[in-house]
Chains A and B, each alone.
Chain A
Amino acid sequence: MVEELTKTSFTIPVGPVHPAVHEPVRLEVTVDGEEVVGADVFAGQVHRGIEWIGMNRNNPVQTVYLAERICGICSACHPFTFVLACERAANIEVPKRADYIRVIVAEIERIHSHLLWAGVAAHEIGFDSVFYLVWRVREKVMDLTEYITGNRNTKAMYMIGGVRRDITEEQFPTIREAMDYYKSIFNQLKTVFLDDITIKLRTRNVGILPKEDALKLVAAGPTVRASGVPKDVRQDQAYGAYADLDIKAITPDVITGKVVGDVYDRIIVRLLEVKQSIEIIERCLEEMPAGEILSEPKMVKLLTALKKADGSAVARSEAPRGECFHYVRMEEGRETLATWKVRAPTYANLMSIPVMVIGQQIADVPITFASIDPCFSCTNRAIMVKPDANGSQVLEKEELHRLSIEKTRRLEANLAN
Chain B
Amino acid sequence: MDILTPEEIVKSFESALGNNLSDSKIYQSEVAVKRNLFTSISLYVKPDSFRDAVKHICELQEYPHLIVISPSDRGDNVELIYHITIYYGQHLKEISLLLSVTLSKNNLKIPTITDMIPGTIYAEREVQEMMGVEVVGIPDNRRLFLPDDFPAGVCPWRRDETGPEEMLRVLPGRKGIQHG
Report A's interface with B, CB cutoff 8 A. 43-44, 47, 49, 51-52, 55-57, 88, 96, 99-100, 215-219, 229-231, 233, 235-244, 246, 248-249, 287, 289, 313-314, 316, 323, 325, 327, 329, 331, 334-336, 338-339, 341, 343, 347-348, 350-351
Could you list some 16 contacts between A and B, CB below 8 A?
A44-B144, A52-B157, A216-B117, A216-B119, A218-B67, A218-B117, A218-B119, A238-B37, A243-B32, A244-B32, A244-B33, A289-B33, A314-B40, A338-B72, A347-B122, A351-B122
Answer yes or no: B151 CB below 8 A from chain A CBs.
no
Residues 20 to 43 of chain B near chain A (Cβ within 8 Å): 27, 29, 31-34, 36-38, 40
A325 touches B89 (CB 8 A): no
Distance A96 CA – B118 CA, assembled complex (angstroms): 39
A351 touches B119 (CB 8 A): yes
User: A interface, by DSSP: helix, strand, loop or mixed?
Assistant: mixed
Closest to B37 in A: A238
A43: B residues at CB distance < 8 A: 122, 144-145
Distance A241 CA – B101 CA, assembled complex (angstroms): 34
B38 touches A237 (CB 8 A): yes
Tell me the number of A-to-B contacts counted with CB atoms below 8 Å. 141
A231 touches B88 (CB 8 A): yes
B152: A residues at CB distance < 8 A: none
B180 touches A239 (CB 8 A): no
A96: B residues at CB distance < 8 A: 32-33
Residues 91 to 146 of chain B near chain A (Cβ within 8 Å): 91-96, 98, 117-122, 143-146
B180: A residues at CB distance < 8 A: 331, 334, 336, 338
B27 touches A243 (CB 8 A): no
Q: How far is the CB of A100 from chain B (nearest CB, A)?
A: 8
Q: A217-B118, A237-B85, A237-B96 are in contact. Are A243 and B36 (CB under 8 A)?
A: yes
Answer yes or no: B15 CB below 8 A from chain A CBs.
no
Q: How far is the CB of B93 from chain A (nearest CB, A)?
A: 7
B93: A residues at CB distance < 8 A: 236
Which of these, A100, A218, A241, contacts B66 with CB under 8 Å? Answer: A218
